[in-house]
Structure 1
Amino acid sequence: MSTVENTRVPRWLRILLPAVLIVVWLALAGVGGPYFGRVSEVSSNDQSSYLPASADATKVADLQSKFSGTSAVPAIVVYQRSSGLTKDDLASILDDSKKIADLPGVHGDVSPPVSSKDGKAAEVFVPFVDDSNLDAHVAGLRTHLDSSTPNGVNSYITGPAGFTADLVAAFGGIDGILLAVALAAVFVILVIVYRSPLLPVLVLATSMFALCVALLVVWWLAKWGVVQLNGQVQGILFILVIGAATDYSLLYVSRYREALRDEGSRWRATWTAIRGAFGPIVASAGTVIVGLLCLLFSDLNSNKALGPVAAIGIVFAFLAAMTLLPSLLLAFGRAAFWPVRPKLGSEHPQVVGPHAHGLWARVAGWIRRAPRVIWIVCTIALLAGATGLLQLKAQGVPQSDLILGHSDARDGQNVLADHFAGGSGSPAMVVGPESQLQSMADLLLDHSGVSSVTVVAKDSSSGTAPVTKNGIQPLGPPGTPTPAPTVVDGDVMLQATLTHPADSDAAESAVRSLRADLTRLHDGILVGGVTAVAIDSNDASIHDRNTIIPIVLVVILLILMLLLRAILAPVLLVLSVMVSFAASLGVSAYVFDGIFHFPGADPAVPLYGFVFLVALGIDYNIFLMTRVREESQLHGTREGILRGLAVTGGVITSAGLVLASTFAALGVIPILFLAQIAFIVAFGVLVDTLIVRSLLVPAVSYDIGRAIWWPSKLWRRGER
C-alpha cells in the first residue's frame, strides 16, 4: 500500500492538497469569525417562542397582538419608599412616566402610576416593542431611572421585558468569557498531555475553525427561519463543537504519532493515521449526530432547535478533525510534537506483558487478575450514586430563579408581591367566545387565585376595562361611557390578575384549576400568559423526556450492533452508560440540593444530560471497543481487551478531561439550566472516562471473554 501511494500520488499533489484544505478552512473561518458578534440578530430568548404551536399559551400569544393591535412586551417599573411615597414622589413619578413614553423602544401608551394600598409603592406599565434590541431598550430605561427616580425611592424594572433583558445580559458572556475559559482549560490540559507548545495550538485551531464555520452555517439557517437559535442553544453549540473537535483530534493525533514510528514519509503516515482513526471517529460522530437528531421528536421548540444546530456543529467538528488537522500535521510533520518527537523505527511501548510499564499497563494487569471483583465493585459504586435520583427535583423552577446572582427583575417582582397582588403585570390571558364574557368573568372572580379581572377594550384609554359581577365598568368620572370589548373572530380576551406571583407554584396551581373550570364552561376557551407558558413548557419537557430517552437508547444500540457486528457487546455498553448516567444524575442531585441549594431543575435538564452523556459517553466506549475488536482479531479477545485498553487509555482519558473541562466552562454563564448541565455532563464524562471505560467495561468484557462478540464470527473463533 505504501508503494502504491508513493507511485500513484505525485509530489505536487501531496503538497497542493493539504495546502488547499488549509486555505479553504482559513477562508471559511475568516468569514464565520465575525458572526460571533452578530448572534443576537437571529437569536431569541423569549420563553414563549420555545413552545410548540399546539400549546394553548402559544395560541394565546399569537392572538394577543390581534386584540391589542401591537406585539409589545410589557415592563413594570416599581417604585418603593419604605416609609411611604410622598405626594412629591407621586407627582415626580407621574411627570416621569410621560417622559418615559419618549424613550427609544417604548411602543404604546405608558400608564400613569398606580399606588399600592399601603402607600409604600407604585407601579408604571411600559410597553416595549418586541424586537432584538429589547435588552438595549430596557437598559436605556434603567439608565433613565437612575437619574430621574426621587431621592430615597428605589426603582426596579420587572415584568416580561425585565426578565428577558436580565436573561440576555446573563447570556452576554457566551461570546467572550465562555470561549476564553473553555479554550484556556483545553490548552492547559493539552500542554500537560503532549508536553509540546505547538501541538495544542494546532488542535485548538482545528476546534475554533470548526466552530467558526458551524456558526456561519447556523447563523444563516436561523436567518432563513430553518432553525431556531437562543442563548441556551448557542452556549451548548460552542462547548459541544470545541469539545468534540478536540476529542476527535486527540484520537487522530494518537494514530499519527504511532504511524510516524513506522513510516519515514509524512504522507504515508498521514494516510495510515486516517485509515486507523476514520472508523472510530465517524462512528462516534455519527452516534452523537443521530442522538442529537432524536431531539426532533420533541414537542418543545427549544429542544427541537438544539438537535439540528448541535448536529451541524458535530459535522464540522468531524470534518475539521479529518481534513484540517491532518493537513496541518502533514505540513509540520514530527516538528509538531517538539520537543518529544516520535523517532522513525523506535519501538512502540509495551502495553501488556512482563515488560509493560505505565499506568494503563498496571490497570490492564489488575483486570487480568481480578476482573469480576472490579466490575462488581464499580457497579455497586455507581448504583450507590444513583440513589440520589430519589431526591431529584426536576419539575420546573420559577422564572425568577433562572438567573443566578443579581437580577433587577427578580428584586422588582419581590417588591411587587409585597405591595400589590402577586401576579400584577403578568396576568393570565383568557380567550373565549364573546357570548361567554360574563360567565368567564364570574368564574374567574369566584376563584381564590384571582384578585381582579379586566377585558381588552377598544374604547378604553388604557386598552382594558375592569369587569365585575355587574359587567364591564367604565374608567373615569360618572357619565363616562362603558367601553366595548375588542372582538376578534367572535372571541374576547380577559386578563386575570393572580393573587400570587406569576412564576410561583401557587399561580401554576391556580391556572391549571382555571383551565379545567373554563373548559367545562366551554371547550374552546384558551388560557395563556406568563404562568401558562411555564406550565406548557414544563409539561412539554416531561413529555419529551419520557419519549426521547427510549428512542435515543434504541437508536444507539442499533448503531453499536452495526459497528461491532455483535449483539451482546452493544447491550453491555448501553447498560454501562445507563448506569453511569443514573449515577451522574444522582450525585448531581445530592450536590444541587445539599451544596448549591438550587431551587430545583427544569424537566429538560435530565433529558439534555441524558442525550449528551449517552451520546458522548458512548464515544469513549466506541474508541475503546473498536480498538479492542481490532486487537482481538490478532491476539484473541481477552488479550485484545487488555491491549485495547492500554493503547487507548491515555488518549481517551485526555479526551475525557478535555470534554469535561469544556462543559464545566458552561458554569461561568449565570443561568441555572446551564450551570446544572455543566455539572451533570462534566461529572458524568469523568465517570464514563475514569470508571466505566477504564474499569467497568474492560473488566466485565474480560470476565465474559469471546462471548461478548456473540453472534459474530469473532465469537466463534477460539482464544489464542
Structure 2
Amino acid sequence: MLPSSKFGTRIAGLTCGRVTKWLVVLAWAAILAVAFPLAGKLKSAETTDSTASLPSGAQSTLVAEVADRFPGGDRITGIVVYSRDGGITAEDRAKADRDRQAFARLSGTDVAPARTSKDGKALALGVSYPGDVEMEPLQKLQDQAKDGLPQGLDAHLTGSAGDRLDSLDSFKGLDGTLMLVAAGVVALLLLFTYRSPVLWMLPLIGAVVGSELANSVVYLLAKHAGLVVNGKLDSILVVLVFGAGTDYALLLIARYREELRNHTDRHEAMAVALARGGPAIIASAGTVCFGLLCLMAAQLKLNQSLGPVAAAGIVCVLIAMLTLLPALLTILGRWVFWPLVPKPGTGARTRRTIWDRIGSGVSRRPRTVWIASTLLLAALATGAFGVKSGLDFEHTYRTTPDSVTGQKVLSEHFSGGGGNPVRVVSEAGAADEVAKALRGVKGVGEVKPAQLSKDGKLAAIPTVLTDAPTSQAAEDTVDRIRDAIRDVPGADAKVGNSAAATLDIARAQAHDRKVVIPLALAVVFVLLGLLLRALVAPLLLIATVVVSYFSSLGASWLLFKHVLGFPAVDDTLIIYGFIFLVTLGVDYNIFLVHRMREEVAGNPTDRGHRDGVLRSVSVTGGVITSAGAVLAATFAALAVLPLVSMTELGIMVALGVLLDTFLVRSILVPALALDTGRKFWAPSRLSARRTTPSAARPTDTLVGSGRR
C-alpha cells in the first residue's frame, strides 16, 4: 500500500471495520427512524400559493402578494361552462340552475346566476373557493356539473380552480409510481450489470435510503427555511437520487471488486477502495452540487428552489453510498458477488475488451476522430436552431384535461378574456384615472368597476381582454396596458393575473437562462481547474459538454416535433436540461480524466501520457457506461408523468447522458487528450515534456486497479 494513502485508508476504514460496520448500520437505522416520518410529510409541504411559480419582483407577483387585502382576494375561481352546438335549451338552463344551488352548498358562498353567451350556445357559472383548497372539494364540484346532464349538453370545469384540480389529479399517486418505475429500471440494469441474484439489491437499498433522507431534509427546508416545493421538484428529486446514487454505487463496487483481488481481508479491501475511489466520487458529486446551486441566482422561485432540492438529494445519497453501502458489502462478504466472486491473487482480467479496441482505434488518428465526433454532434445541434419555446395552456398535458377543454369552449363562446381577466391594482385615489387610461388601450374589451381593498388604500380593476388569456395577442395587450398606466400620477399601478403572469414568467425564464447558464459554466470550470490542477483540460471538458448539450437539445426537438407532436418545448427545459446535462456530463468526465491524471503521473513521458489515456479508457469504460445507462433510464422514467414538460425533460436528459456516455466520454475526450498530448495538463507539472520517467507522487485512483 502506498504510504501517502495510509491515513486516508484508516479514515475510510471507519465505515467498514470489523466492529464499526455494525455501528454504521445501527446509526442508519436510527437516522431512518427519524427520516421516514418526515419524508412522508413532504407532500403536505408542497405549496399551493399562486406566487410560488412567479418571478420575484415582477408586477404579476406584486399583484398576487396583495390579493388577500381585497375581499375574497385570497380565493380562486372555478368556471363551469355548459355548451350545446344547437343552442342552449330550457332543460339546459334548469340543469345549470340546479347546479348553481348545489355549488353554493359545496363552496359555502353565493353563486351568481349563469351567464349566457351572445351566440346562445353556452352558459357559464363562476364559483370561488379558498386559495388553499384541496382536491376533494373541487372533484365534487366537477362531478356535480357532469352528473345528470341533458342529452347533448357538455359541461367542463375550467378557470384557476379547474387548473388546480387537473394539476393535483395529474400527480395523484404518481410519486409512488415514479419511485417504483425508477427502482424497477435500476434493478433490471443492475441485474444485467452484475449478473448476481443478490448484489443488485445493495445499491437499490442505498438509493431508497438516500431518497428517504433527501425527502426528509427537503421537507424540513420547506417547512422551516421557506423553500418552495411542488410536485415537479419532487419528481425530479426521485429520479436524480436514484440515478446519481446508483452511479456512485457502481463506481465504488467496481473499485471494491478490484481490491478484493489484491487483499485477502475484505475489510482492508473496502478501506482501500474508499480511500482511493472515494475522494474522486466526492469531488464529482461536489461539482454537481455547486453547479446545481447556481440556480439560486434565478428570479423564478421554483428555479431557485430546484438548486438546493437537487443538491440535498445528491449529498444525501452520496453519504448513503459511502457509508451504508460499504458497511453492508463488508457484512455480507465476498459471496455477494456470486457467481463471479473475486478471489485474492487472481489479478485483473487480461483479455482484450471492447474498450481496449475503442482506445486503440482512437489513438491511431485522434485528430480525425475528434473532428469527426464534433461534426456529428454539430449536425445534431443544428436541430436546436428551430426550437420553439413556451408551451401554451392547451399543451401543458399529454392528454386533454377538463380545464383545457373548458377554456377552449369558454374562449369560443364568450369574450376572449372574460373568464379570466387581468387585474390592475393601483392606489385608490388614482383608480378613476387608471380606468380611463385602460379604456383607450387596444385589446381591452371591458373595464369593470374598481374594487377597494379592506383598508381602502388600494383599488383592483378587473380588465377583460378581447383575446384569450393564453394567446400571444393577450400578452401584447398586457404590454400596452403597462405602458398606458405607467405614468398615471400617483397610481403606482401594476398588472397581474392571467396573461400578465404568463408574460412575466416567460421573461423571467429568459433572464434566468442568461444569468444561470454562464454562472454554472464558470463555477464548473473553476472546480475542474482546482481538481485537475490544469487549465487546458477543463476548457476542453467544458467545451465538450456544451456541444453535447446543444446536440441533445437539437435531437430532442426533432423528436418532440416530428414524432411526439409537441408544438414547443417548455420554458424550463432549456435551463433545467442545461444544468443537468452539464453537471452530470462533467461528472462522468471527472471519473475518466481524474483516472487519466493518476495514470500519467505514474509515467510522466510522452509515451506515458498516451498509455495513461488508453488505460483510463479501458479500466473506466465498462463501469461508466453502466452508470450512464442507469442515469439515462432513470430520467426517462419521468415520461410516466402526464405533464409534457416532465416528459420533455426526461427524454432530453436521457438522450444527452447517452450521447455523453457513448460518444463524448468514450471517444471525443480521449481523442482530444491524445491529440493535445501533454499540453492537455497545462500549466501543471504533468504538461512538461520528458523523455524518461521520473518520480512522481501518485494521486488517488478513481476506479479500476492501481499500481502497488
Shorter-normalised TM-score: what interval? over 0.9
Name the amino acid aligned to 2:445. Answer: S
1:351-374 alpha-carbon deviations (Å, 9 max, x no partner)? xxxxx5111111111122221121
1:422 aligns with 2:416: yes
1:17 Cα deviation (Å)?
A: 1.4
Structure 1 counterpart SS, 2:126: strand
Structure 1 residues 121 and 10, CA gap change in structure 2 (3 angstroms): closer
What TM-score do you get using the length of structure 2 for normalisation?
Answer: 0.93
Structure 1 residues 10 and 557, CA gap change in structure 2 (3 angstroms): closer
- Structure 1 CA distance for aligned equivalents of residues 689 and 274 of structure 2: 29
- Structure 2 CA distance for aligned equivalents of residues 305 and 651 of structure 1: 32
Match of 2:194?
194
1:11 Cα deviation (Å)?
A: 12
Contact 1:128 1:134 (C-alpha < 8 Å) held by counterparts: no
Name the amino acid aligned to 2:126. Answer: F
Contact 1:538 1:602 (C-alpha < 8 Å) held by counterparts: no
Identity of aligned residues (%): 39
Name the amino acid aligned to 1:357. Answer: R
- Matches for 1:171-210 after TM superposition, within 5 Å: 171-210=171-210
- Structure 2 CA distance for aligned equivalents of residues 568 and 174 of structure 1: 45
1:227-249 alpha-carbon deviations (Å, 9 max, x no partner)? 11111111111111111111111
1:113 Cα deviation (Å)?
A: 0.8
Match of 1:607?
575
1:39 Cα deviation (Å)?
A: 3.1
1:7 Cα deviation (Å)?
A: 11
Of 38, 53, 57, the residue aligned with 1:54 is 57
Match of 1:565?
533
Contact 1:96 1:148 (C-alpha < 8 Å) held by counterparts: no
Contact 2:247 2:627 (C-alpha < 8 Å) held by counterparts: yes
1:109 Cα deviation (Å)?
A: 2.7
Contact 2:15 2:323 (C-alpha < 8 Å) held by counterparts: no
- Matches for 1:224-239 after TM superposition, within 5 Å: 224-239=224-239
1:533 aligns with 2:501: yes
Structure 1 residues 673 and 9, CA gap change in structure 2 (3 angstroms): closer
1:385 aligns with 2:380: yes
- Matches for 1:386-425 after TM superposition, within 5 Å: 386-394=381-389, 396-425=390-419
1:289 Cα deviation (Å)?
A: 0.5
Of 472, 486, 490, the residue aligned with 1:505 is 472
Q: Which moved more, 1:164-173 or 1:687-696?
A: 164-173
Contact 2:14 2:20 (C-alpha < 8 Å) held by counterparts: no
- Structure 1 CA distance for aligned equivalents of residues 202 and 12 of structure 2: 26
- Structure 1 CA distance for aligned equivalents of residues 23 and 265 of structure 2: 20
Q: Which moved more, 1:687-696 or 1:704-713?
A: 704-713
Q: Which moved more, 1:165-174 or 1:548-557?
A: 165-174
1:688 aligns with 2:660: yes
Of 74, 94, 111, the residue aligned with 2:97 is 94
- Matches for 1:266-281 after TM superposition, within 5 Å: 266-281=266-281
1:29 Cα deviation (Å)?
A: 3.4
Name the amino acid aligned to 1:424. Answer: G
- Structure 1 CA distance for aligned equivalents of residues 79 and 268 of structure 2: 68
Contact 1:433 1:490 (C-alpha < 8 Å) held by counterparts: yes
Contact 1:456 1:486 (C-alpha < 8 Å) held by counterparts: no
- Structure 1 CA distance for aligned equivalents of residues 664 and 134 of structure 2: 47
1:269 Cα deviation (Å)?
A: 0.4
- Structure 1 CA distance for aligned equivalents of residues 329 and 341 of structure 2: 13
1:179 Cα deviation (Å)?
A: 1.1
- Structure 1 CA distance for aligned equivalents of residues 10 and 238 of structure 2: 42
Q: Which moved more, 1:6-15 or 1:588-597?
A: 6-15
Show structure 2 runs of 5+ residues with no match: 694-708
Name the amino acid aligned to 1:250. Answer: L
Match of 1:472?
none
- Matches for 1:471-482 after TM superposition, within 5 Å: none
1:83 aligns with 2:76: no
What TM-score do you get using the length of structure 1 for normalisation?
Answer: 0.91
1:542 Cα deviation (Å)?
A: 0.5
Of 359, 367, 373, the residue aligned with 2:354 is 359
Match of 1:39?
42
Name the amino acid aligned to 1:526. Answer: K
Q: Which moved more, 1:646-655 or 1:160-169?
A: 160-169
Structure 1 residues 214 and 11, CA gap change in structure 2 (3 angstroms): closer
Show structure 1 runs of 5+ residues with no match: 351-355, 458-484
- Structure 1 CA distance for aligned equivalents of residues 586 and 624 of structure 2: 12
Name the amino acid aligned to 2:464. Answer: T
- Structure 2 CA distance for aligned equivalents of residues 11 and 112 of structure 1: 73
Q: Which moved more, 1:703-712 or 1:20-29?
A: 20-29
1:604 Cα deviation (Å)?
A: 2.4
Of 533, 548, 557, the residue aligned with 2:516 is 548
Match of 2:696?
none
- Matches for 1:614-653 after TM superposition, within 5 Å: 614-635=582-603, 636-653=608-625
Match of 1:114?
115
Structure 2 counterpart SS, 1:74: strand
- Matches for 1:660-675 after TM superposition, within 5 Å: 660-675=632-647
Structure 1 residues 11 and 445, CA gap change in structure 2 (3 angstroms): closer
1:717 Cα deviation (Å)?
A: 5.3
1:710 aligns with 2:689: no
1:299-351 alpha-carbon deviations (Å, 9 max, x no partner)? 1101001111111111111101110111111111211211111111102123x
Contact 1:36 1:175 (C-alpha < 8 Å) held by counterparts: no
Contact 1:45 1:167 (C-alpha < 8 Å) held by counterparts: no
